[in-house]
A and B are shown apart, each in its own frame.
Chain A
């Protein structure tokens, strides 16, 4: 059964397709361009698409976090690293030679097949419709502080180690580096 284009289901499908297109186009720009700064921009577009998908799946909080962390922090950090690291000429990515392209295609194809196979044939615990509100602000907060509190605390330890590491690196100061 195919819903008509202008019914709510049909429009939702169109929006879903648009979001997938944005994600895919971003990913393709990120991988295919030769300038690193453009691939960071592509990555940002890809993240925006993913955020849109989260929003589409009724998880607005995760969508906003995707924007805040991945676009606002990760992409900016990568862009910084690129600007501070090398001059423009050296940034032209190397030409891919011979075998590696084919190998990449085979690996990618295999991976895509495995994912698709798992998605189609895997047994899902509960139907998705019943868990549609699991991505809401309240649900995420509750599960982070009850069921997943251990993981939550472990993540904070990782962050603490990262901060201490940064302090150790910066300890020697600017003049002694």
Chain B
């Protein structure tokens, strides 16, 4: 019975955390965009525009749901739900604190990648189901990008698995000590290229979440609005929210693998607050990059993955294996 109450409270907690994040990361992004471009961003609704997400939500939910005549109705309706489900589900495995984890899986890392890869299919289904050639092109682009960047991301994550000897996310954090030089990013004794691995992982998560400079799936100049062109109201809202959910998950995963999760950088008070601090710092970096760099070209994007990141990750993997064997 205790277990049941624990699970139930975690479910409510995750739903609340997720809802808050999905609403307010949108606000953070718009505020950030505004200030980077020397504007103020949203400021009319509530103090500092803080009620803007609620107003947006109300607007999106009260809109009429229009299904385009050309669309494949079943797939069109499925896609926004399908893209949201794996994103929400993954929060079950994230260890926010040493004891603040809904469920500890000993295959947590592989689970992250497994469910994240389902997201690509739902983008494809959404792009196809819309019955619009721009959506279709955007869907194909987004997925080829996801597939391309999944490989170096996995290869880099394998480094961590080799060093740690575990796929349990909480165990990976536990093995990184309580000072910042024990974090995987600075563990030069395990592999001299660890900071570069972190960079590769960061770039890959940038591409996996379809964020500028890698948002080829929704480049407005060429493809109207990408794979969610035909979606209005909450359908569009779900695509947007899934993007932020994936953003939070990507940043959490980077925090767990490289930045020591809930471990404290200065040796005192380890706990969920450090996790959130690091995670939100990474989220802020994502926003920062998005509004600083222009979009790349599609071939440039694929070349970066196939010609540079993947060979580099393979060499890096060999190097890590060598380091583990020698030292």
The chain A residues found within 8 Å of chain B, CB to CB, are 35, 37-38, 41, 44, 60-61, 64-65, 67-68, 71-73, 75-76, 79-80, 83-84, 137
B121 A75 Cβ-Cβ under 8 A = yes
Contact A44:B121 (CB < 8 A) given known A38-B72, A65-B114, A137-B167: yes
B118 A67 Cβ-Cβ under 8 A = yes
The chain B residues found within 8 Å of chain A, CB to CB, are 72, 74-75, 78, 105-107, 110-111, 113-118, 120-121, 124-125, 128, 136, 140, 143-144, 147, 150, 167
A72, A84, A137: the one within 8 Å of B120 (CB): A72
B128 (CB) vs chain A CBs: closest residue:
A37
Instruction: Report B-chain residues with C-beta under 8 Å of the C-beta of A41.
Output: 75, 78, 125
A137 B147 Cβ-Cβ under 8 A = no
A72 B111 Cβ-Cβ under 8 A = no
Instruction: Report A-chain residues with C-beta under 8 Å of the C-beta of B114.
Output: 64-65, 67-68, 72
Number of inter-chain CB pairs below 8 Å: 64
What are 6 A-B residue pairs whose CB atoms fall within 8 Å in the complex?
A: A44-B121, A64-B107, A65-B114, A79-B124, A79-B128, A80-B140
B144 A64 Cβ-Cβ under 8 A = no
A67 B115 Cβ-Cβ under 8 A = yes
A83 B107 Cβ-Cβ under 8 A = no
B74 (CB) vs chain A CBs: closest residue:
A38
Q: A64-B114, A68-B117, A76-B124 are in contact. List 9 more A-B contacts (CB 8 A).
A: A35-B72, A37-B125, A64-B110, A72-B118, A72-B120, A73-B147, A79-B121, A79-B128, A83-B136
A80 B117 Cβ-Cβ under 8 A = no
A83 B110 Cβ-Cβ under 8 A = no
Bound-state CA distance A72–B143 (Å) is 10
Instruction: Report B-chain residues with C-beta under 8 Å of the C-beta of A80.
Output: 140, 143-144
Contact A71:B147 (CB < 8 A) given known A61-B107, A137-B107: no
A67 (CB) vs chain B CBs: closest residue:
B114
Bound-state CA distance A73–B107 (Å) is 19
Leading 4 A-B pairs by shortest Cβ distance = A72-B117, A67-B114, A68-B114, A64-B114
Question: In the complex, how many angstroms separate the beta carbon of A63 from the nearest chain B beta carbon?
Answer: 8
B75, B110, B115, B118: the one within 8 Å of A37 (CB): B75
Bound-state CA distance A19–B153 (Å) is 31
Question: In the complex, how many angstroms separate the beta carbon of A30 from the nearest chain B beta carbon?
Answer: 14
Contact A73:B117 (CB < 8 A) given known A80-B144, A83-B136: yes
A71 B111 Cβ-Cβ under 8 A = no
Question: In the complex, how many angstroms separate the beta carbon of B44 from the nearest chain A beta carbon?
Answer: 43
A76 B147 Cβ-Cβ under 8 A = yes
Bound-state CA distance A137–B115 (Å) is 18
B75 A38 Cβ-Cβ under 8 A = yes
Question: In the complex, how many angstroms separate the beta carbon of B125 from the nearest chain A beta carbon?
Answer: 6
Instruction: Report A-chain residues with C-beta under 8 Å of the C-beta of B121.
Output: 44, 71-72, 75-76, 79
Bound-state CA distance A76–B123 (Å) is 10
Bound-state CA distance A64–B144 (Å) is 21
Contact A68:B128 (CB < 8 A) given known A38-B74, A80-B140: no
Bound-state CA distance A49–B128 (Å) is 23
A35, A60, A73, A84: the one within 8 Å of B105 (CB): A60
Bound-state CA distance A27–B193 (Å) is 46
A35, A61, A71: the one within 8 Å of B117 (CB): A71
Question: In the complex, how many angstroms separate the beta carbon of B113 from the nearest chain A beta carbon?
Answer: 6
Bound-state CA distance A41–B74 (Å) is 11
Contact A76:B143 (CB < 8 A) given known A37-B72, A64-B111, A83-B136: yes
Bound-state CA distance A61–B113 (Å) is 12
Instruction: Report B-chain residues with C-beta under 8 Å of the C-beta of A73.
Output: 117, 147
Bound-state CA distance A38–B125 (Å) is 9
Bound-state CA distance A130–B231 (Å) is 52
A83 B147 Cβ-Cβ under 8 A = no
Question: In the complex, how many angstroms separate the beta carbon of A82 from the nearest chain B beta carbon?
Answer: 9
Bound-state CA distance A80–B110 (Å) is 24
Bound-state CA distance A105–B117 (Å) is 35
